[in-house]
């Protein structure tokens, strides 16, 4: 695999397809250009997904993100485009992409886009008791 920017997203088989588990990635150095001014936009992207049969390979994800550096995109457009490309490549059970763009014109922009596989429902949340702070000494 080269080190040049690319729109190709590589995948690998999910090592535990029998289980719903969350994959969380933070991409703190995303850049693209403002389509109006050509000035750079900077963002932190957060990707959360529950894989089905495939997971996204990290180096290809890095090179894919890098491919937007010289392209002009509105925040809403680039968020949805990235989500669509990731869904197309991995076909996850669930995927959420959150983009947090740094200030432009005095305004911070956050965009959240989601995908759910048809028929998939998350398992109910289980709340476990916390035992921190309890003394375990005998008296």
Annotation says 55 is catalytic: no
The catalytic residue among 20, 32, 41, 55 is 41
Q: What HEC string does the chain produce?
A: CCCCCCCCCCEEECCCCCCCCEEEEEEEEEEEECCCCCCEEEEEEEEEEECCCEEECHHHHHHHHHCCCCCECCHHHHHHHHHHHHHHHHCCCEEEEEEEEEEECCEEEEEEEEEECCCCCCCCCCCCCCCCCCCCCCC
**Known catalytic residue: 34?**
yes
- From the list 20, 32, 34, 52, the catalytic residue is 34
Which amino acids are annotated catalytic? Answer: 34, 41
């Amino acid at each position: 695999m080269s080190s040049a920017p690319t729109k190709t997203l590589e995948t690998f088989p999910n090592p535990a397809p029998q289980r719903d588990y969350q994959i969380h990635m933070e991409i703190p150095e995303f850049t693209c250009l403002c389509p109006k001014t050509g000035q750079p936009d900077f963002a932190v992207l957060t990707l959360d997904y529950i894989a089905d049969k495939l997971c996204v390979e990290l180096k290809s994800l890095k090179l894919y993100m890098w491919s937007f550096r010289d392209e002009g995109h509105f925040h809403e457009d680039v968020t949805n485009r990235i989500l669509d490309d990731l869904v197309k490549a991995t076909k996850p059970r669930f995927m959420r992409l959150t983009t947090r763009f740094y200030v432009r014109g005095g305004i911070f922009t956050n965009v959240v886009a989601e995908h759910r596989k048809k028929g998939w429902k998350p398992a109910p949340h289980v709340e476990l008791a916390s035992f921190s702070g309890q003394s375990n000494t005998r008296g």
